[in-house]
Structure 1
């Protein structure tokens, strides 16, 4: 495929009627071109300013003392209403609490009653403890637990409070009893996630791939160093913002993962284009200006697309999820700002010496010549577009097949690391025989009956509820239905026969709230609400499920409009949206196979299959869609450049593919390596997001970007660039 001669920088604009989409202007005349040239001429000043901003952001984060919490509030849901009623009428019952579990492998816990009594007394004396229940013992006598209530949220106690718990339970340990902490005490005793190792592995792997891809030490270090600086600034800003609004505990990990991935990608695309301009004979400043005008424009559009997708998470109405999107957005926007200023400055500083320290004789830029492997591959796709399109869609469909059996849920302590305190407490309770014990004891549900508008006596309502619960399959046991001291509510705590993350438990909650309790209270005027941790998680899951289509719709519409305005086409954004949906579905399918079906879960450090965390699909959709658009925009930008110059669709697609395939492949491998390194995180949700994002990136950069997009564009020909004239006049022209 012949490569057309590059036009002169001073070439006149093409005829407006023939090439009305053209953006061929001298690099220095565009806004981004002028910015790139300015940064390349003043590299030391720009780099010094970024280092100053980095120091200020990190210092500000330290001074601001950010707060992170996974506490979710769902006003208007049944669990929230029930909790409010409980807190008003029975403040003690509604207080935060957790379990302290005692176990012995031989004999009975009661054999060490004096040590157990001293332990309970010491627990009562701990700061913020309001009550300690009598120990409940299993029928074989080998396991017992007590419920400890607190006057503040457990997350606020901090991990350091674990030492005080250990001191209080020392008498039991000294007597030979095993002690573990369960229930909501996991918020205290669970070691804060440390993803530093993942970050180091990701950075080292990225450097190795950059060295192999570029064959030059400076060219490999430049994208990595600029990305690290921008990620540091982004984390500092996230920390400062977190001092005014509480982010989820995984927010910084997510921001690091996304920021590092896109930061290296953006710098890689700019550096590759810069090297090509140097090879074509342009000076360093002019090359930086041309790079900022062309690839910089693609970076800006890509970053805006990712930001729009991430901020769309606020449409779900859950601030917990919306703030995760905000943290990722901050990281992406800071990274984009660095790509448009810090990277050109670094390129201007290095200039023609970028390949001075080489690992291979010939440097690698966008293309190795008119007959290199990517040109030949483009010709092959052009000859057999239907074959490539069919094969690509078939592979994505196979990957997406497990999606049909996806089960949303909450990953509980049963998936924690074996030997940890939370996992030990969970197992002791789940496997101990006796009343109130068994898997369901780890996820008890409180039923609150509101009597304020009841037209019958409390005793009759209590009898009706008792009979209904006795006849409900899946209920292992429940406490007697008791009225509060003010007579406004009735309360009972029931234990399911199955564990918190079991699908049967979710079905039981649905049966209780949708059938059993409404029928039992029909005609009485009373209403029942299920509350507690498990019920709250079920309400959260239901809310996310209802809002997911809204988020998907907003992301699709905004992305479609943005791409249509950028590329002046209706067909191109429609194709991009459809193919990105395929990518997302395929990554969902892989998640189900790995986590829910257990295919390879041991490799990720999981001891058993787990459901897909309820908010992961929503988070993944926004992130995957945004990241997929990155590669779409980088590829289409190069295709559009040739189309605007030649009006030859076949040539444009071939040139765009051959010019970007190498850098897209390298960028995808780097981002995949960064994401996969975070699968070593101790947090299961981070593992899910990391694996899902890694799979989506590799699928998108190979099957979609290198097979499906070019084959589809070859098939559609000039129709790719169809745009109704009336719509073209209305839409804004998004150009740098």
Structure 2
């Protein structure tokens, strides 16, 4: 008899670890009280901090390499009291202003004594035009009838960025004239400071109200409708407070908080909706609420992370413009995208845990699941099969509609919208009208010619003066030109050019280009002098030129980054190219609608726009980055389901039909909400906000209907399995990232603790509503390698 060591006891296999997102979702659902209190504290605490210490918003930007900024720097170096940013304080009285000389003198003195003011010029003591009509320097700031005049106030920085407290000092300074019955209005940047704060509460309320209706109709459940709304609102409030605190250290554009609100509400509701849809399906299948919240966070939460990252990357691509003003607009929008993602991954599971099994208890109609029990008989399934049978027909029909909408794009004119398009309730609009009536529209956008002759010897300066003066005489597009005047040190010559047209007109833009491109270069040719055109209007023209020049670069950067993300997630070259091309087509259509409405005037007056206006120079750039990022939400949501079904079945047409069946209702509902949120901002008094609101609403509508539900299924059916092809070397180089967990065989353990029986997707969704059970490895792609399985 032999003895040996006792057999080693075999340890049972350790249970597989759950994924981080699933653990996060389950923890938030189980400890919903802690999470909800944390979010309440964040909303209240950050809002209080922002109210006490937050910064302000102003359209303040510098273009260091532009000729207008270089001219301003030259002027500032040689005559500091003129080397700043000027604004007009416009005075108007039914009688002669000369009867208020004492009050005018007092007001000018008061204005000159304010902080940040370099100079303030008394219009009643300015030189008058000569008897023969030739203007002297400067042009007369008093109208021929003597009833209107303007005080030119020069600041050492943009007055719009000085805060409401500074405006109180300006109001006190002009009070003597107002007490005397004289109308006083502020123009330019000072007028922007005096504008009422653009809260756009009406727009936000309307968009929010429409979202409530859409969610109630789409889901039938009161509590289910409340979850996305509460989560999105909390995320936006936190994001806006954070943005206000960041504004202490840097200056964001005035439109930044409105833009952040638009994007935050839109993506916040969308992201919460994606998680809610998965969670409700699991509840209907009998899952525990905490486990269902964890699965929803693990599955749709991944899609939210990928989508949110894509939006942020697209917004970050705006920095490729090299213009800090535009890059900060993207950063402002990205703040609420980040908080929306955080809200979806933490607050939504907590709200779902709070609701428990009572999520559908209070309903206005019978709640419906994510997909019908019979995935082969639903409307969207039949529709997708119909598209699959005639893909060319549907593709051609969609492209024709998009082509018609895109036609106006070819007449796009970028520019800067002047104060004449603002509501008459704004002081800068009233100042604009007074100046236009008394002096002509061009006085609202004067140009300052600066000739640096510091490198020219004294004997040659007289000849240079004559050459520049002759070049400025009879200048096409100019209503008046003052005589050249030297600065105090004699090294710089300056003159004021008054355009014949308003600042936003194409004629004024052409005048700036004519001065900088031909007139001044020819006048100083052969000398060591250098000519510039500066002033607010010249700076805006330079800004417009830089944006137009760099827009193709922005498009290339954003498209390239989005292509890389889609390629990394789905590992298919053609699917990434398809996403980029179709998104470009839909964005072109939205551009066309914006041009037709605002530039052509088709419906502009009905939207509260006074006349026709150019498209604000940075709007197309912002629209492109935002829309391209947002469209990836629906792209990833749909493609992840197509890819999941294709990995299980290898049937391209059936995969498209299955994915459309289970996502079309959610995509339609989410798109209607986002369209309503964006479209509501058309009611804003800010024309740039109107443009962005209309453009984004049209983009989402086109993307979620023509593109996502028509063109994408048609293209996927035409390409078949080739859409997922990628060369071997690219497959090896790209990191493995999945929008959602990949399918595994029935009963196989996952990193989330195992799939439920009959659950092929690992997300807890019902097997009867999904495609056939998963294969062991899925179909092979064209490289011969198996698709990655998470």
Would the TM-score normalized by the shorter structure come out above 0.5?
yes
**Residue of structure 2 equivalent to 1:384:** 390
Please point out which of 360, 364, 382 is paired with 1:359: 364
- Is the 8 Å Cα contact of residues 47 and 345 (structure 1) preserved in structure 2? yes
| C-alpha RMSD of the superposition | 2.2
- Is the 8 Å Cα contact of residues 133 and 148 (structure 1) preserved in structure 2? no
In the alignment, does 2:145 pair up with 1:140?
A: yes
**Residue of structure 2 equivalent to 1:522:** 525
Structure 1 residue 177: Cα displacement: 4.0
Q: Which moved more, 1:52-61 or 1:79-88?
A: 52-61
**Residue of structure 1 equivalent to 2:120:** 131
Q: Which moved more, 1:254-263 or 1:191-200?
A: 191-200
Structure 1 residue 690: Cα displacement: 1.2
Please point out which of 451, 454, 460 is paired with 1:452: 454
1:27–1:724: structure 2 CA closer, same or farther, 3 Å change rule?
A: farther
Structure 1 residue 172: Cα displacement: 4.2
In the alignment, does 2:418 pair up with 1:412?
A: yes
Please point out which of 244, 265, 283 is paired with 1:278: 283
**Residue of structure 2 equivalent to 1:508:** 511
- Is the 8 Å Cα contact of residues 84 and 155 (structure 2) preserved in structure 1? yes
**Residue of structure 1 equivalent to 2:772:** none
Deviations 1:573-627 (A, max 9, x none): 1000000001111111111111111111122211111111111111111001000
In the alignment, does 2:269 pair up with 1:289?
A: no
- Is the 8 Å Cα contact of residues 131 and 150 (structure 1) preserved in structure 2? no
1:27–1:77: structure 2 CA closer, same or farther, 3 Å change rule?
A: farther
User: CA–CA distance in 2 between the matches of 1:63 and 1:351?
Assistant: 38
User: CA–CA distance in 1 between the matches of 2:460 and 2:659?
Assistant: 77
Structure 1 residue 249: Cα displacement: 2.1
Please point out which of 180, 185, 196 is paired with 2:185: 180
**Equivalent runs, 1:553-564 vs 2, <5 Å:** 553-564=556-567
**Residue of structure 2 equivalent to 1:462:** 465
Deviations 1:240-282 (A, max 9, x none): 2222222222222111111111000011111112112222333
**Residue of structure 2 equivalent to 1:269:** 274
**Residue of structure 2 equivalent to 1:19:** none
Deviations 1:424-461 (A, max 9, x none): 211121122xxxx2111100011111112225622211
Please point out which of 18, 28, 35 is paired with 1:39: 28
User: CA–CA distance in 2 between the matches of 1:173 and 1:229?
Assistant: 44
- Is the 8 Å Cα contact of residues 307 and 332 (structure 1) preserved in structure 2? yes
In the alignment, does 2:631 pair up with 1:628?
A: yes
**Residue of structure 1 equivalent to 2:303:** 298
User: CA–CA distance in 2 between the matches of 1:59 and 1:169?
Assistant: 34
Whichever of the two has the greater Rg, that structure is 2
Structure 1 residue 206: Cα displacement: 1.2
- Is the 8 Å Cα contact of residues 316 and 550 (structure 1) preserved in structure 2? yes
1:641–1:489: structure 2 CA closer, same or farther, 3 Å change rule?
A: same
1:160–1:210: structure 2 CA closer, same or farther, 3 Å change rule?
A: same
Please point out which of 75, 78, 84 is paired with 1:95: 84
Say which SS state the counterpart of residue 196 (structure 2) adopts.
coil
In the alignment, does 2:80 pair up with 1:75?
A: no
**Residue of structure 2 equivalent to 1:430:** 436
- Is the 8 Å Cα contact of residues 595 and 601 (structure 1) preserved in structure 2? yes
User: CA–CA distance in 1 between the matches of 2:563 and 2:492?
Assistant: 52
**Residue of structure 2 equivalent to 1:581:** 584
1:123–1:324: structure 2 CA closer, same or farther, 3 Å change rule?
A: closer
Say which SS state the counterpart of residue 137 (structure 1) adopts.
coil
**Residue of structure 2 equivalent to 1:712:** 715
User: CA–CA distance in 2 between the matches of 1:157 and 1:325?
Assistant: 23
Structure 1 residue 128: Cα displacement: 5.3
User: CA–CA distance in 2 between the matches of 1:346 and 1:126?
Assistant: 53
Say which SS state the counterpart of residue 355 (structure 1) adopts.
coil
Please point out which of 194, 200, 203 is paired with 1:195: 200
- Is the 8 Å Cα contact of residues 600 and 612 (structure 2) preserved in structure 1? yes
User: CA–CA distance in 2 between the matches of 1:420 and 1:235?
Assistant: 25
Please point out which of 339, 354, 371 is paired with 2:344: 339
Structure 1 residue 126: Cα displacement: 5.4
**Residue of structure 1 equivalent to 2:762:** none
Structure 1 residue 185: Cα displacement: 2.2
**Residue of structure 1 equivalent to 2:260:** 255
**Residue of structure 1 equivalent to 2:19:** 30
Structure 1 residue 65: Cα displacement: 2.5
Structure 1 residue 184: Cα displacement: 3.1
Say which SS state the counterpart of residue 206 (structure 1) adopts.
helix
1:47–1:165: structure 2 CA closer, same or farther, 3 Å change rule?
A: closer
Structure 1 residue 108: Cα displacement: 4.2
User: CA–CA distance in 2 between the matches of 1:568 and 1:480?
Assistant: 67
User: CA–CA distance in 2 between the matches of 1:67 and 1:352?
Assistant: 45
Structure 1 residue 176: Cα displacement: 4.8
Say which SS state the counterpart of residue 148 (structure 1) adopts.
strand
**Residue of structure 1 equivalent to 2:752:** none
Say which SS state the counterpart of residue 363 (structure 2) adopts.
coil
Q: Which moved more, 1:696-705 or 1:420-429?
A: 420-429
- Is the 8 Å Cα contact of residues 72 and 84 (structure 2) preserved in structure 1? no
Say which SS state the counterpart of residue 221 (structure 1) adopts.
helix
- Is the 8 Å Cα contact of residues 216 and 359 (structure 1) preserved in structure 2? yes
- Is the 8 Å Cα contact of residues 215 and 364 (structure 1) preserved in structure 2? no
TM-score, with normalisation over the residues of structure 1?
Answer: 0.92
Please point out which of 485, 490, 511 is paired with 1:487: 490
Say which SS state the counterpart of residue 197 (structure 2) adopts.
coil
Say which SS state the counterpart of residue 650 (structure 1) adopts.
helix
Structure 1 residue 719: Cα displacement: 1.1
Structure 1 residue 462: Cα displacement: 1.2
Structure 1 residue 170: Cα displacement: 4.7
- Is the 8 Å Cα contact of residues 116 and 157 (structure 2) preserved in structure 1? yes
**Residue of structure 1 equivalent to 2:779:** none
Say which SS state the counterpart of residue 184 (structure 1) adopts.
helix
User: CA–CA distance in 2 between the matches of 1:162 and 1:134?
Assistant: 22
- Is the 8 Å Cα contact of residues 54 and 246 (structure 2) preserved in structure 1? no
**Residue of structure 2 equivalent to 1:672:** 675
- Is the 8 Å Cα contact of residues 266 and 336 (structure 1) preserved in structure 2? yes
**Residue of structure 2 equivalent to 1:608:** 611
User: CA–CA distance in 2 between the matches of 1:127 and 1:548?
Assistant: 38
- Is the 8 Å Cα contact of residues 27 and 33 (structure 1) preserved in structure 2? no
1:134–1:701: structure 2 CA closer, same or farther, 3 Å change rule?
A: same
Q: Which moved more, 1:343-352 or 1:270-279?
A: 343-352
Say which SS state the counterpart of residue 265 (structure 1) adopts.
helix
**Residue of structure 1 equivalent to 2:663:** 660
Say which SS state the counterpart of residue 454 (structure 1) adopts.
coil
Unaligned runs of 5+ in 1: 1-25
In the alignment, does 2:547 pair up with 1:544?
A: yes
1:526–1:288: structure 2 CA closer, same or farther, 3 Å change rule?
A: same
1:102–1:54: structure 2 CA closer, same or farther, 3 Å change rule?
A: closer
Say which SS state the counterpart of residue 187 (structure 2) adopts.
strand
